[in-house]
Chain A
Amino acid sequence: MMKAMILAAGKGTRVWPITKTIPKPMIPILRTPIMESLLLHFKKFGIEEIAVNTSYMGSEIENYFRDGNQFGVNLLYSYEGYMKDKQLISNALGSAGGMKKIQQSTQFFDDTFIVVCGDAWVDLDIQKAFESHKEKEGIATIILQDVPLSEVHKYGVVRRNEFGQILEFQEKPKISQAISTTINTGIYIFEPEIFDYIPIDKAYDIGSELFPKLAKLNVPFYGVDIDFQWADVGGIKDIWRTTSDILTKKIVGYPIPGKQVTENIWCGLNVDIDLSEVNIQGPVYIGSGTIIKKGVTIIGPVTIGAYCVIEQGAILERCSIDDYTWISEVVNLKDKVIFGEYCIDHGGEYVELQNWQVDWAINDSRNHFLTHTSENDLYRASLAVANIERSF
């Protein structure tokens, strides 16, 4: 089977502040990093030799996936950057430049190969994509999808002739200037001849440089439409949207972790919850070891991480909570994602919880100061409000 490459060097500025602590391919969707889902998907199609270019926070990726053995694949990393004063300095080469670097040093790509962006979950039939590419006999085939016109500015847009050859490739156009609504999904199949079109030793991008050049030079470069599910998490809002789409079954077939305990509730191991003593509406996922006290209200879609403590009377609506989060009884968390130190709303606006100084309301469940929160005036005031509400 083909070799593959995952593009994993991007800085992920559109996913800030999540990417302050992890690189984009490590973003977990229902607990599984995107790149892990990609590796497992490749493995299903017999693709086991995979190159990964890393740069921004590359060590996070390398330390998680190691040599790929535990995922049943073999991984080759290509780090783009250097070390200075014992600090790694990231120096990304662009997607095409990253491919070229691997080819230059090892001639790794010796036959037809597939390249995917590390920031999207896909369930593409890779065999079918491979066959479509072979049928067209081009040196590059990209997998396309149609999106609403309002979304085109985020993607590469194509215009094709009746044979599917791409005549024009427009990277991230303004809505008013878009040549179509058929867009590049970031999945490409190439022949090694592609390297003739990528310059050596300079940053070079696939979407904004290589593809427009191929179209202009009239190189056999095709786009094929294949129906598949594609969840792009290129932007901060996409993380919640994708999680919610999976839980509400708009996306089907994505593995939900844990064990299904009722029609719409999934739990990890040793979750402490009495379903008859809480007001819970699925879909809800609760991670291992989490304690949900009596009288908690949970309105799904909601995901609660592992080892959290949700105190009696807290209200969670349409939100996602990180591991080891303590939610006090005064909290009403609505339409938010708690990720590390950040509280991000579904529109992408965020605050650092530390700045709000609400450690009496939300904290780390391992913090041994938690028992002192009841001495906090604000906590008591919030509690009084919550209690008045409950008495109605």
Chain B
Amino acid sequence: MNFSNKKINQSILLISIDHPRLDASSTPDFKEYFSNVVKSQFSKVVLDLSSVKFMDSSGLGALIFCLKNMVVNGEIVIVGAQANVLGLFTLTRMDRLFTHYGELSDVLAEIA
């Protein structure tokens, strides 16, 4: 209920988290939602984090879990992360695993 998605093309899905926190309270729902909508159909997910005000390491863990369960060579990129959310990615070097883009248009220009 706090998530929505939009198909960008055959292989790319946009998922938006419309919830202020991505932490232990919301990650089980997120993981379930992710696997239900992505299945093995999409090899690339663009994750819109612009509404997420706070994320902790369980949020990070959920993203890694989702990535692991995607097809081989699957990719998750993130878009619109707020400063304190992005800080968590850079501190743990997860920004190398999940490329960050400022705006959705930047991602689409590059990957779609």
Contact = CB atoms under 8 A, between A and B. Distances in A.
10 contacts: A331-B91, A333-B91, A345-B83, A355-B54, A358-B91, A360-B57, A381-B94, A382-B93, A386-B93, A389-B96
Given A358-B91, A389-B96, A351 B84 contact: yes
Given A336-B87, A355-B56, A356-B56, 18 more contacts: A331-B93, A332-B93, A343-B91, A349-B83, A351-B87, A351-B88, A356-B88, A358-B56, A360-B57, A361-B92, A362-B91, A377-B64, A378-B57, A378-B60, A381-B94, A381-B97, A382-B93, A388-B96
Contacts of A378: 57, 60-61, 64, 92
Interface centre among A331, A377, A385 (most CB of B within 10 A): A385
Interface of B: 54, 56-58, 60-61, 64, 83-84, 87-88, 90-94, 96-97
Interface of A: 330-334, 336, 343, 345, 349, 351, 355-358, 360-362, 377-378, 381-382, 385-386, 388-389
B97 to A, nearest CB: 5
B90 A382 contact: no
Contacts of B91: 331-333, 336, 343, 356, 358, 361-362
Contacts of B90: 332, 334
Contacts of A332: 90-93
- The interface residues of chain A, by DSSP majority, are classed as mixed
A385 B97 contact: yes
B20 to A, nearest CB: 13
B87 A331 contact: no
A357 B97 contact: no
Contacts of B60: 378
Interface centre among B57, B64, B94 (most CB of A within 10 A): B57
B84 A330 contact: no
Q: Which 3 A-B pairs have the closest CB atoms?
A: A357-B57, A357-B56, A382-B92
B30 to A, nearest CB: 16
B21 to A, nearest CB: 10
A259 B109 CA distance: 53
B93 A358 contact: no
A361 B90 CA distance: 12
Given A355-B54, A378-B92, A343 B87 contact: yes
Nearest to B98: A385
A381 B90 CA distance: 14
B28 to A, nearest CB: 16
A217 B96 CA distance: 64
